[in-house]
Structure 1
């Protein structure tokens, strides 16, 4: 059980040249952030620079029987945090990541199970983040998260994530 004010132990970094096992990462995430087990995440996979979640709608239903905006916003924020954390881990970096800014546009009701996709807003975003980390020891990246019900775009979010300097 998590304790308030006490950080959860980090997941050990994958071996050099290896990627995180998505199921292992999601299991750790559910321990580190207790609400994760209630989000309905069925699958997580990487597709190039894009991180994709498949989700069940049922845990995020609102009183109208569609997706609850607060739950969807939390998912968008967490998906971007995961994108940034996994990007760092692939580079052998265990660093703290925080969301600095976030905005959402709700475009259509979420009426069934859905997928959330996250990718850098700019193609050069990851390269710029790597440069910032090398030069200043910290950096930022802007990501875009899109929620799709089939072929219908229901939500688009933009979030800026800060990678904090390594603690000494």
Structure 2
């Protein structure tokens, strides 16, 4: 059981240049952030530089029988946090990440199970983040999250994630 004000222990870093095992990371994430087990995340994988979640709609239904905007917003924000955290871990860095700014645009109702993707807003984003971390010990990256229900883009979110300096 998590205690308020007590940080959750970090997951050990993967071998240099390796990515985390997605299932092990999701298990850790569910322990670290208790609401994660209620978000309906069925699968997580990397497709190149894109982090992908496959999700069930059932835990996120609203009163109309479609996707609940607040839950979808939480998912998009967390997906960006995961992208940033996993990118750092792949580069041998165990650092704190926070969302600095987030916006969402709802384009269509979510009417079934869905897929969410997260990619850097700019192809140069990861290199820029690496340079910021090297020169200033902290940095930011802008990411785009998209929610697809079949071939329909239902939500597009933009997030700016800050990597905090080592305390």
Into which bin does the TM-score normalised by the smaller protein fall? Answer: over 0.9
Aligned partner of 2:66 in structure 1 is 66
Aligned partner of 1:101 in structure 2 is 101
TM-superposed CA distance for 1:17, in Å, is 2.7
Structure 1 unmatched runs, 5+? none
Per-residue CA deviations over 1:93-147 (Å, capped at 9, x if unaligned) read: 0000000000000000000000000000001000000000000000000000000
Q: Matches of 1:165 and 1:69 in 2, distance apart? A: 32
Q: Secondary structure at the match of 1:115?
A: strand
Q: Secondary structure at the match of 1:4?
A: coil
TM-score by length of 2: 0.99
| 1:8-157 to 2 correspondences below 5 Å | 8-157=8-157
TM-superposed CA distance for 1:150, in Å, is 0.5
TM-superposed CA distance for 1:16, in Å, is 1.7
Q: Matches of 1:20 and 1:159 in 2, distance apart? A: 22
Q: Matches of 1:7 and 1:19 in 2, distance apart? A: 23
Runs of 4+ in structure 1 over 2 Å off: none
TM-superposed CA distance for 1:19, in Å, is 1.4
Paired residue total: 167
TM-superposed CA distance for 1:15, in Å, is 1.4
TM-superposed CA distance for 1:156, in Å, is 0.1
RMSD of equivalent CA atoms: 0.5
Structure 2 unmatched runs, 5+? none
Q: Matches of 1:109 and 1:17 in 2, distance apart? A: 39
